[in-house]
């Protein structure tokens, strides 16, 4: 039983439970969504109708919420007379159903039954619950747009790995991807660029055609609803005050107009850290309050991500408007000006019952009490935030940036960053040992980040994300020993079965032996970094 992520406790008995044509589902109160999901996925894969059945009938999958279990915990019992999934909440029942699907074999991940296929489940009892409540994947759709169907597919892939937070990176210098009705030029102008750099920003290659796309508000509602049916929370990211050239190109008054001619800016067509940042004016604040008002209507998540990373201060240093604001507020410098900018939206979101989260640069200059931190530049930001009483999501680039290359050597397509192998990700530990038990309670969980500068299509996203996301999912869910003591050989053995599941799902993952010929990108310049990454 090669389950990924590994369950907390499992007892195997001799024999199997055979699924006949009359096999059906009894959905107790609070489990109806899981029953619908099972019929929509296992029904087509197996050819079984999975009709509603009563508890006293044979060949029944019993779904129930059991008070006393942790919310996301489940108990799965496969006995000779039937199957039971009990969850501490409707989420726990759903995660149990994901385990059931894996136990049926890789063909249960297909969309139609294969001829002659029979279905059986090993007699077993599994008790399971997650280590972290935030088990996330960040997908950057700003650099390369992913159409709605691709996003829905990734939500399914997340659910199959028991991941439950989708961090949706919707805006950046290279594109604005969400329709804002009161500011229509954000998508009319900001959602497309005239051309695109191919490879790293030092590459001489360009794709000389427009690139773009955006989600309508109904698209967003559909994505959020689809995620909710899979017990995934969508956390939107609207990046401020840096990474904002697409917005400034659409509305030049948002930029530092006393320093540069913002009317000459277009949506950025290359990569890197952009010097064009938002002006710290009342007009900018009101504009983005309008943006966030529409965002809050679309996303019911507790957290809203405001970016806050990689904001060069040079324009603010040269801007009399920015300097006047520093003097007016009695601030020490431009770092405190950014802190004031972020703090404004922390207060604004808190007044509406939401919580701000941002990249760890938001710690610079001071951070509002209720804000949370995504620690990406290593562990240091997360350690500092936790010690200061802030909640933290650990996503250090040295460990879980999946745009980084998976192996050394010339065959790795557009090699970026450090080598992060499947084993490296499997040995990632989200909770730094420097934290006391009280401080460690501020670590909400962990997240893998997929930045798409050099991922031009869904197949490239698949290649960079898988199979490493499977290792990450086990780190986020399972109660693993210390990194050096983890059984990576055992995980690799279980991955043999998991590769077949990914094949059935059509995932273009990196094979263990290296990239296939069509997965390579010969001649496209990357930015590999030699040696091991910093440990902290």
* Burial label, 352 (beta-carbon count in 10 A; 0-12, 13-18, 19+): exposed
Kindly give the interhelix angle for 320-329 and 334-350, rounded to the nearest 10 degrees. 70
Active-site pick, 32, 269, 310, 503: 310
Structure tokens at 91: 């989420």
Instruction: Say which residue the tokens 């401080």 belong to.
Output: 439
Q: What are the CA-CA distances from residue 75 to residues 88, 146, 160, 163, 231 (Å)?
A: 9, 36, 17, 18, 17
Instruction: Say which residue the tokens 């009892």 belong to.
Output: 125
Strand pairing class (120-128; 9-18): antiparallel
Active-site pick, 243, 390, 442, 498: 243
CB-CB neighbours of 217 under 10 Å? 14
CA 524/CA 454 separation, integer angstroms: 10
Q: Does residue 150 have a cis bond before it (omega within 30 degrees)?
A: no
Strand pairing class (120-128; 74-79): antiparallel
**CB < 8 Å & 24+ apart, contacts of 112-121:** 112/44, 112/45, 112/47, 113/44, 113/45, 113/46, 113/47, 117/46, 118/18, 118/19, 119/18, 119/19, 119/46, 119/48, 120/16, 120/17, 120/18, 120/19, 121/16, 121/17, 121/19, 121/78, 121/83
- Is 149 an annotated catalytic residue? no
CB-CB neighbours of 6 under 10 Å? 18
Cα(first)–Cα(last) distance of the chain, in Å? 36
Active-site pick, 26, 33, 140, 172: 172
CA 525/CA 414 separation, integer angstroms: 6
Beta bridge partners of 448: 137
CA 509/CA 499 separation, integer angstroms: 9
- Is 243 an annotated catalytic residue? yes
Q: What angle do CA 62, 68, 73 make, to 5 degrees?
A: 65
- Is 81 an annotated catalytic residue? no
Active site residue ranges: 172, 243, 310
């Amino acid at each position: 039983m090669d389950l990924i992520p590994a369950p907390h406790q499992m007892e195997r008995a001799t024999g199997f439970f055979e699924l006949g044509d009359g096999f059906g589902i009894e959905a107790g109160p609070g489990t109806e969504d899981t029953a619908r999901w099972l019929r929509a996925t296992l029904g087509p894969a197996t050819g079984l109708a999975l009709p509603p059945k009563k508890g006293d009938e044979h060949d029944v999958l019993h779904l129930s919420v059991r008070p006393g279990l942790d919310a996301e915990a489940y108990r799965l019992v496969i006995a000779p007379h039937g199957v039971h999934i009990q969850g501490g909440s409707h989420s726990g029942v759903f995660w149990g159903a994901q385990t059931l699907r894996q136990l049926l074999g890789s063909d249960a991940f297909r969309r139609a039954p294969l001829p002659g296929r029979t279905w059986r489940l090993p007699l077993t009892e599994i008790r399971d619950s997650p280590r972290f409540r935030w088990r996330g994947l960040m997908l950057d759709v700003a650099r390369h747009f992913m159409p709605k169907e691709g996003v829905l597919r990734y939500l399914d892939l997340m659910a199959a790995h028991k991941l439950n937070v989708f961090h949706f990176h919707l805006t950046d210098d290279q594109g604005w991807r969400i329709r804002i009705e009161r500011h229509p030029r954000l998508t009319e102008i900001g959602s497309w660029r005239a051309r695109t750099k191919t490879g790293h920003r030092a590459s001489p290659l360009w794709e000389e055609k427009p690139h773009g796309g955006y989600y309508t508000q109904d698209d967003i509602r559909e994505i959020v609803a689809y995620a909710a049916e899979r017990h995934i929370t969508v956390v939107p990211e609207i990046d401020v005050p840096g990474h904002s050239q697409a917005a400034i190109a659409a509305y030049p008054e948002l930029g530092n107009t006393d320093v540069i001619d913002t009317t000459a800016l277009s949506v950025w067509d290359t990569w890197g850290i952009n010097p064009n940042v938002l002006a710290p004016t009342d007009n900018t604040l009101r504009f983005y309050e309008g943006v966030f008002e529409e965002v809050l209507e679309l996303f019911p998540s507790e957290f809203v991500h405001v970016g806050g990373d990689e904001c060069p201060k040079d324009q603010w240093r040269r801007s009399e408007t920015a300097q006047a604001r520093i003097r007016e507020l009695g601030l020490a410098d431009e770092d405190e000006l950014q802190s004031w900018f972020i703090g404004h939206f922390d207060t604004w979101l808190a007044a509406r019952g939401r919580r701000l989260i941002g990249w760890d640069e938001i710690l610079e200059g001071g951070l509002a009490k209720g804000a949370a931190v995504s620690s990406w530049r290593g562990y240091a930001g997360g350690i500092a935030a936790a010690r200061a009483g802030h909640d933290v999501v650990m996503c250090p680039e040295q460990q879980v940036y999946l745009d980084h290359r998976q192996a050394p050597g010339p065959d790795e397509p557009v090699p970026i960053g450090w080598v992060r192998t499947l084993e490296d990700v499997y040995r990632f530990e989200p909770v730094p040992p420097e934290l006391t038990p009280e401080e460690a309670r501020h670590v909400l969980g962990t997240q893998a980040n997929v930045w798409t500068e050099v991922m031009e299509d869904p197949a490239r996203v698949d290649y960079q994300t898988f199979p490493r996301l499977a290792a990450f999912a086990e780190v986020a869910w399972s109660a693993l020993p210390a990194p050096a003591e983890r059984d990576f050989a055992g995980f690799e053995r279980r991955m043999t079965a998991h590769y077949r599941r990914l094949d059935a799902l059509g995932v273009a993952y990196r094979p263990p032996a290296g990239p296939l010929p069509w997965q390579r990108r010969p001649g496209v310049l990357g930015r590999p970094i030699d040696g091991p990454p910093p440990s902290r």
